[in-house]
Amino acid sequence: MTCHEVQSKIAQIDDDSPAAEIIVHARECAACNQSLREVLWQQKWLRERFAEVSEQLLAHAPPLWGAAFQERLKGPALPALLLPVAWAAVLLGAAALGWWMWTSSPASSSKSSVAERRAPRESAERPTANANHRAHSKPISSLSEFESLGSASASSWPAETGLVLTLPEQSAVPHPSPELAVSQSLSKPDVSQSSPEPALAEASPEVAVSEPLPPAKFRFDTGVFQMEPTALAPGAKGYLAAIIPKDSTDQTTAMVALSLTGLPTKSVFYVRTKDVGGNQVSLGSGRSDINGSAVAVMLRSSPTTVAVGAPTLSVASTEPPVTLNFDGATGEDLEVVDTAGNVLMTVGAATKPQVLSRVNPSPTP
């Protein structure tokens, strides 16, 4: 028997009695003798150690039927057949609770309110055709950026078609030159042709005179006016700056600018007023920044004619009519509202610090 065979058999020794040929070979071969000794010693050591530790473990063995095991032996409280029913009842209860919470919340009390909130929000996110047209027709960097911030065209405010420029920071308010605004408005004659409102205002200015208007608290005029907060935005502050041309000879760009602070952060707001018929019209929209501040600039250019009691402006006959933000708007009850229609700020008659002296009207051509 060779050493290799003996070594393999030594490795398979399973008790203290190795085969005779292994012992005979191990007495003659030192290496095999050492391997045999190691294997036998290891097995003996293992038996002794396991025996000693087993004694200790058996001495500390727990009682067979302990209280915990007895409890587990009793099994679940419900029979196995009732478990699916119990789970179904739990799920139904959770669903009913969720439905009750959903239906009882004020946000979902009526579908109309949801639709009303969703409509201006969607319209604020959707750029209008005018904005796209302007973006393509006038690649001026500053104005393009402002236009990309979006304009609003809510379905509930049919007169809202105009340009609205919003700025995230008050310090970064650009004041576009009248020339730019004029070129902007003159570059889109097709849009104005589809709008009947300027023609209506031009054809019958006396209608606005003959019809009795409700007492107006505020009307568009050149000056700076302080905005008053409402209970919904008690910390809101701001000013309204308006440049309204006085007559048809004044070529100044009509402008209404709002500089507001204290609004809800990152929220869309709308500026609305009333037209000569007393209907609510929207001048435009804006979005407050992370600090609740916003600047909205609404422009109108081209020669204007002031209607009596209202800045409903019409274009000169030599130029194509344009659609304006505040065509027909009187500035009466000018308000800043949120997307849900809640009034955040107003311009009241009693708080109209008109600062005509500080305004430098644009020069007439």
Sites of contact with other proteins (CB under 8 A):
11-12, 14, 16-21, 23, 26-27, 33, 36-50, 52-62, 64-66, 68-69, 72-73
Q: Report in angstroms how near the CB of residue 86 gets to other proteins at its nearest.
A: 21
CA distance 233 to 77: 57
And the tokens for 24?
């005979």
Q: Report in angstroms how near the CB of residue 127 gets to other proteins at its nearest.
A: 49
Smaller CB separation from other proteins, 23 or 216: 23
Q: Work out the widest C-alpha separation in the chain, in whole angstroms.
A: 136
Q: What is the dihedral of CA 14, 20, 25, 28, to 10 degrees?
A: 120
Q: Report in angstroms how near the CB of residue 83 gets to other proteins at its nearest.
A: 16
Q: Report in angstroms how near the CB of residue 171 gets to other proteins at its nearest.
A: 51
Smaller CB separation from other proteins, 59 or 231: 59
Residue pair 307/276 in contact (Cβ under 8 Å)? The answer is yes
Specify the 3-state DSSP secondary structure of 203.
helix
Q: Report in angstroms how near the CB of residue 27 gets to other proteins at its nearest.
A: 8
Adjacency order of strands within the sheet including 254-261: 165-167, 294-300, 254-261, 237-243, 223-226
Return the closest-CA partner of residue 287 out of 165, 197, 201. 165
Instruction: List, in order, residues 6 or more apart from 189 with CB less than 8 Å away.
Output: 320, 321, 322
Q: What's the sign of the alpha-carbon dihedral 295, 300, 305, 311? A: negative
Smaller CB separation from other proteins, 18 or 120: 18
CA distance 117 to 342: 11
Which residues are bridge partners to 261 per DSSP?
A: 237
Smaller CB separation from other proteins, 58 or 77: 58
Smaller CB separation from other proteins, 69 or 102: 69
Q: Report in angstroms how near the CB of residue 53 gets to other proteins at its nearest.
A: 5
Smaller CB separation from other proteins, 72 or 126: 72
